[in-house]
Amino acid sequence: MHELSLCHAIAGVVRPHAADREVTVIHVRIGALRQVIPETLAFCWELVAAQEGFDGARLEIDPVPASVTCASCSVTSDLESRYSISCPACGSCEVSVVGGEEFLITSIDVRAVSPSAVSPSAATTPERG
């Protein structure tokens, strides 16, 4: 599964950045031409996150539309359909893809773990019996 290997790649990139901190959110930018299904990616991430020790970290997907620059009219526009790569302005097929192939982790949110502040303050519970 395509999405599963992407998730392993994400985990591999995030790990050294996270160090010992708890990752809460991973922001990924994904181009439309990557043909990633966000729901599938999120599902696969849960599996990978559990395996790789990123429990509690969720993916925040930032979709990027596919865009092309036209050789005929020089207009750069977003593609409305992923199935036809032609210039939406003039219909020419002489276009070069300038966006939509992104797959990058833009940032991660972490929660700093400070060892001295781990234990809850409710240290003594009075027992009545």
Q: Which residues bind Zn ion (CB under 5 A)?
A: 70, 72-73, 87, 89-90, 92
- Torsion angles phi and psi, residue 38, rounded to 5: -55, -40
Closer to Zn ion by Cβ: residue 37 or 71: 71
Residue tagged 């032609």 (tokens): 86
Question: Whole-number minimum distance, CB 69 to Zn ion, in Å?
Answer: 9
In sequence order, what E strands does 44-102 have? 58-64, 67-70, 76-78, 95-99
Q: What are the residues facing 103 on neighbouring strands?
A: 30
Closer to Zn ion by Cβ: residue 90 or 97: 90
Question: Whole-number minimum distance, CB 114 to Zn ion, in Å?
Answer: 56
Closer to Zn ion by Cβ: residue 24 or 86: 86
